[in-house]
Structures are given as C-alpha cells and as structure tokens.
Structure 1
C-alpha cells in the first residue's frame, strides 16, 4: 500500500472516529434533555399538583373548623370565604393531577390507583365539608360539631393518608428517576471517553 493510500485510510478512520464522537455527544445531550423534559412535565408536575391538593385540603379543613369556633359575624363570613376558596383550589389542583395522570401513557398502575383513591375520598369528603360550612354559617354549631366528629374527621384522616401515600411514592419514584438518569449519564460519558481515547490512539 502506498504512503498516499495509508494516509487516506488513516485520515478516513480518524474522520469516522470523530463522527462517532459527535454522534455520541449529540445523542447524550438529546437523551439528557428528554429525561429532564419528562421529569419536569410529568413527574415533577404531578408531584407539585399533589402538594397543591394537600395544602388546599388543609386550608379548607382549618377554615371549616374556624367557622364552628367563630362568634363574630364578620369573622364567620371571612372564614366561609376562605373555606369556599380553598374548596375551589382543591378541585382545581385535583383536576390537574388527574389530567396529568390520565394523559400520560407511561403512568404506572400504582400512580393511577393512588390518584383514583385520592379522588374517591375527596368526592365523599367535599359534600360533608360544604354541609358543615352551611351549618356553621347558619349558627347551627352543635349540628356542625357533630358532623365534624362523626363524618368529617374520619374522611379527613383517610384523605390525608391517601395524599401521604401518593407523595411518598412520588418522591421515591423521583429519586429512582434521578438515579437512573445519573447511571445513564455515566454510561454515555464512559462510552464517549472510550471513543475519544481510541481516536487519540489512531493519531
């Protein structure tokens, strides 16, 4: 083989290795971007929506309790407004959580089951909370207290537990995704280093 042919093969092989480096680099960047996008748009979005539901549920419960304790009409009106506003926020955040869960085909059955459980308990709890609001607004304190003890508190505990179950699972799943992403990054980095070393040896 002539010197010219040898140089041609050498530069051709080097060009191929450089191309491989570029391909690996582009693929790594694209994969990292896709993982980040999926995390932000799906996993993190669902987690944030669930936390919004939890906060709104707690605010509604506090406002409902305060209505039963208030004596001044202006305080009663303010707490009623807060309770109804929190109730609307619960509905909005829960609908967001359900939509994010239903629209993503990759959603696991565990997530679907946990979200359905939250929704089912909320459908039972919401009418009870609103009924207590009406009783308290009409100064029927004894009936409101009885309803809180007999119906509201058991459902509220069940709803809190369902929310905690989902948030615990979502946090665990998020940690798994972060670990998997780190492992994938390490693999791609090592492959890229190996190709770069091979290219350097060719020179």
Structure 2
C-alpha cells in the first residue's frame, strides 16, 4: 500500500506543477494585455513643409515636447512626410516632373534634404534631426548633426545624387492620397480624422493618449 502511494506521488506532483505553470503563464499573458511596452506602438504620421510657420510651430511646440518630455516616442511609430502643398506637373518640352512648393524653390530643396535624412537614418536620428532643423536651424544640417552626433553622410549623398523631384515623388503620392487642405496634417494609426486636426495641433498628447488607450486598452503614464 505504501509503495503504491509512493509510486503515485511523482505523477501527482508533476500534474500539480504543470497546473501551477499554466496558471502562471495565463496570468502573465493577461498582465501583458494591459501593460505598456515598446512593442505596442501607435503610428503618427506628420505631413509638413519645411518653411511653413504652422509646421514649425507644431513640431516645436507639440511634437517635440510630447515625444520627449512625456516619453511618447517609445510608444510611437513616427513617420515624417516633408511635402505639403506642392503643384506638380510634367514639363511638355522635357517630359520631366516639375514641382512648385508653397514657399518657393528653397522649400522644395529643404523638403528633399529632410527626406534624405529620414530615409538614410534611424527613426530616432530622423526625429532628432527633423525637430532640430524645424526649431530654428532650417538650413543647418551639419549643426544639427553635430549637436546629436549623427552621421549624415548618406543623407548628403542622397541629396547630391538625385533630383529634388525624384526624391520627393513618393512623398507627393502619400500626401496626395490624404489630400490635406491644411499643413501640417497629422494622421494617427493610419487614419485621417478632420474633426481631430484642431485638437491635435493644440493638444497632441490628449489625442495620442485617447487613441492609444482605445487601441491597446492601456493608459500611459501622464495620460488623463
């Protein structure tokens, strides 16, 4: 009788151990559902122009402090689209694309410079460079690169080796698909909501918090 009990003990112990492990894993998964992690990101896409006062104001006064001071960048898939209001057409004589930017040719060149930075640097590096150049150093690529210790050689090569129109073409396609009537325009989670635009421009964090919580059922620190 004693030997039978002893013989059954390992099987009972193993069964109990498995049950405890299953319960533990279930609780861990349940906790993960309501825990903010860098893997749970919300896409924020900023359609802007490099010489647009409203774009400069939004990036400097809303995007930069929200992403850094409120630590939203870790939870954001941030994308920049430097194009804005551009008239684009084919030249009948040369069959080449011609672009006329809202604030002149210099803006087209700066848009292309931003695009090359965005394409040839990491997301964080692009964020630092764009926000720096839009905060008073519009033409100071090297100054911003030095400030953050970022290598922009590939971005420079991109700008020098391609035409401005060629660099900006895909950003134009993206912008025209949204067809913004105002710049900057911001889409969140791939959705353009006209009714949210004014609020985003005035209080980006409030909208970000709301949309993040709606998607992931998670309230980030500092959100109300």
Query: TM-score normalized by structure 2?
Result: 0.29
Query: TM-score normalized by structure 1?
Result: 0.31
Q: Which has the higher helix share?
A: 1
Q: Which has the higher strand share?
A: 2
More RCO (CA 8 Å, sep 6+): 1
